[in-house]
Amino acid sequence: MNFGSSQAGKSAKAGLDPKAYAATLDKAYGVACCFSDKEAIKRVLVKLKDADTGISIVTGGLIDEIVPMAREIGISPHTVFLSLGIHGKKALLPEDEVLETTTMCGHGLVSSNLARAVIQKVQSGTMSPEEGATLLAQPCPCGIFNTDRCEALLQECGKP
């Protein structure tokens, strides 16, 4: 799991102290979290529903997974955002293995060159996939960069 806030300027994977950050939540405009375990997000959603705080909760993921999960816990989604794909001069985009990594930061702060360098280090065996995922998460202040997924992607890139 990773979490953070653009307001705080960094994520947990980049050294955000959870206790210090919690003390500022009354002034925060949002907290972003990234989960790799569907049951964990379900437990969090149940707690948020039960707390009945009156705040808006936005959950991202695959519609086929999120909508049934919401219904199971008694939440009715009222808005859905869809990715309509990539349009325009696709030839100008980085290679797929780089895009899979850089697009995990919703603010676009993970550079393609950093992703390429980490992939190369993982492939050469000078960096572990875990170290690479942690390094790539550093520029993402909001905390939605999924280090578990990134580690799995890097593991695949490192295979001969």
Q: What is the pLDDT of residue 154?
A: 95
DSSP 8-state assignment for residue 90 = G
Domain ranges for the chain, please list them: 2-72, 90-157
Q: What is the pLDDT of residue 126?
A: 96
pLDDT band at 77, cuts 50/70/90? confident
Q: pLDDT higher for 3 or 152?
A: 152
Alpha carbon distance 76, 79 (integer Å): 9
Q: Quick one: average pLDDT of 38-49?
A: 92
Q: What is the pLDDT of residue 129?
A: 96
Among 6-20, 76-90, 123-137, the range scoring the smallest mean pLDDT is 6-20
Amino acid making up residue 93? L
Could you tell me the two tokens for 40? 């964990």
How many CB atoms are located within 10 Å of the residue 49 CB? 14
Average of per-residue pLDDT values in the chain: 87
Q: pLDDT higher for 134 or 15?
A: 134
Does residue 10 carry a pLDDT above 80? no
Exposure of 90 by Cβ count < 10 A (0-12 exposed, 13-18 middle, 19+ buried)? exposed
How many CB atoms are located within 10 Å of the residue 153 CB? 22
pTM for this model (two decimals) = 0.79
pLDDT band at 17, cuts 50/70/90? confident
DSSP 8-state assignment for residue 29 = S
Percentage of the residues of the chain whose pLDDT score is greater than 90: 47
- List beta partners, residue 5: 10
Whose structure tokens read 């001069």?
A: 89
Does residue 5 carry a pLDDT above 80? no
Strands 32-34 and 2-5: antiparallel
Q: Which helix (H) or strand (E) holds 33?
A: strand 32-34
Alpha carbon distance 160, 153 (integer Å): 14
Q: Could you tell me the CA-to-CA distances from 37 to 10, 20, 65 in Å, in that order?
A: 22, 25, 12
Coil vs helix vs strand at 111? coil
Among 26-35, 55-64, 91-100, 136-145, the range scoring the smallest mean pLDDT is 26-35
Q: Could you tell me the CA-to-CA distances from 152 to 48, 60, 132, 157 in Å, in that order?
A: 29, 20, 11, 9
Q: What is the pLDDT of residue 8?
A: 67
